[in-house]
Amino acid sequence: MRSVSIIGVGLTSFGEHWGKSFRELIAEAGILAIAGCNLEGKDIEAIYGGCMASGRFIGQEHIGALIADQLGVTPIPATRVEAACASGGVALRSGYLAVASGAHDIVAVGGIEKMTEVSTEQAGFALGGAGDQETELFHGATFPSLYALMARKHMKEFGTTEEQMAACAVKNHKNALLNPNAQFHREVSIEDVMKSGYVASPLKLLDCSPITDGAAAVILCETKKARKLCKNPVEIIASTQASDSLALTGRKSLTEMLATKIAAKQAYEHAKLKPKDIDFAEVHDCFTIAEIFAIEDLGFFKKGEGGKATEAGKTGLNGEIPINTSGGLKGKGHPVGATGVAQAVEAFLQLNNAAEKRQVKNANIGLTHNVGGSGATAVVHIYKKIGGKK
């Protein structure tokens, strides 16, 4: 397998894009990524696009062909990748494997979702398809309620508090203030979160990520060639994926995400690293409890200590392990198909010392973690700063 690096990134602002279409968003991100590494469309050999539910959100399928058409790069192969909220992360892994295998030298990976074209009820139904339609959604189990069940179990077993979950939201909103592309640019307090009203107890409105429009793109290249094309390429030194049961009823435990633990273990082994070697991480905080699960299952903190660590400031920008420097899904926004790719964009910026006011000091190794559904799919990537052309 060949080494693979990121040489260019593109990101739209995240939010409610009433004035931009699905086509315009993916074109904007793709053009920014291609232009950012001084390439042209003709240099791209293949496209992998993450998108979860465009059929339900905008009535458009056949997304791979749409992306290639919009970017003017037909007739190269273009493939849509779907893995619920992990669609972007799996698209990134698909592009990584295409280059690592030698099938292509340069590929574009995109992620896109336009979620605001439908009502909140319709959006909830579309997102519910990321779980088990027959045993969960049909019986009225929404994703807030599924994560609320996991939160209650974690609280009972480990003493995790609602205030500790709220601390995740406070931190991520604070980080989002420093990200010009984030959906939310306002701080919130523990009190704000606690008073925001229950969606599914113990999860409140400000414990939940928003409905978002947005797109992200990265250009992947074989590393030897990347060093010639890019001043500061970022090498992907591990790309792993694991699965678990689709429904919560099939899980051995409600206080861990087994797919995350397995994907993380494989990623650390592949990269020959340990959790303590990671300088920052973007994790899948669709709900605040999901961030606590993630930092435990990725090995940054022992099981049951994630809430306490967050409350103590250990995951802040200047903490022991900065988590979600971009603002995360909670503060930056969560256009589901784009999230995994947007995480890679943040990793690239951090490792190029280009994250401005949210820059992590001495960042050399980063990790991204993208989850589908309530944990049925988990994708982990590890990145390393390397030198490129002079």
CA atoms within 13 A on the CB side of 366: 32
DSSP result, 210-260: PP-EEEEEEEEEEHHHHHHH-SS-EEEEEEEEEE--SSGGG-S-SSS-HHH
Q: Which of 17, 104, 173, 334 is catalytic?
A: 334
Q: Are 83 and 259 in contact (CB under 8 A)?
A: no
Cβ 222 vs Cβ 37: under 8 Å: no
Catalytic-role residue among 17, 37, 51, 85: 85
Among 137, 123, 65, residue whose Cα is nearest residue 335: 123
Strand order in the sheet with 280-282: 78-81, 46-50, 106-114, 213-222, 4-11, 234-243, 377-385, 365-372, 280-282
Bridge-based pairing state of the strands 106-114 and 213-222: antiparallel
Residue 381 among the catalytic residues: no
Q: Is residue 289 a contact partner of residue 333, using CB atoms and an 8 Å limit?
A: no
Q: What CA–CA distance (Å, rounded) separates 29 from 44?
A: 15
Q: Whole-angstrom Cα distance, residue 87 to residue 340?
A: 7
What gap in Å lies between CA 119 and CA 39, rounded to an integer? 39
d(CA 165, CA 202): 9
Helix (H) or strand (E) holding 258: helix 258-271
Q: Is 168 considered catalytic here?
A: no
Residue labelled with tokens 């409610």: 16
Task: Decide: helix, strand or coil at residue 287.
Answer: strand
H/E element, 68: helix 63-71
* Chain centroid, CA 150 distance in Å: 20
Helix (H) or strand (E) holding 339: helix 339-351
Q: How far apart are CA 285 and CA 282, in angstroms?
A: 9
Q: Is 228 exposed, middle or buried (0-12, 13-18, 19+ CB in 10 A)?
A: exposed
- Tell me whether strands 280-282 and 365-372 are parallel, antiparallel or unpaired: parallel
Residues belonging to the active site: 85, 334
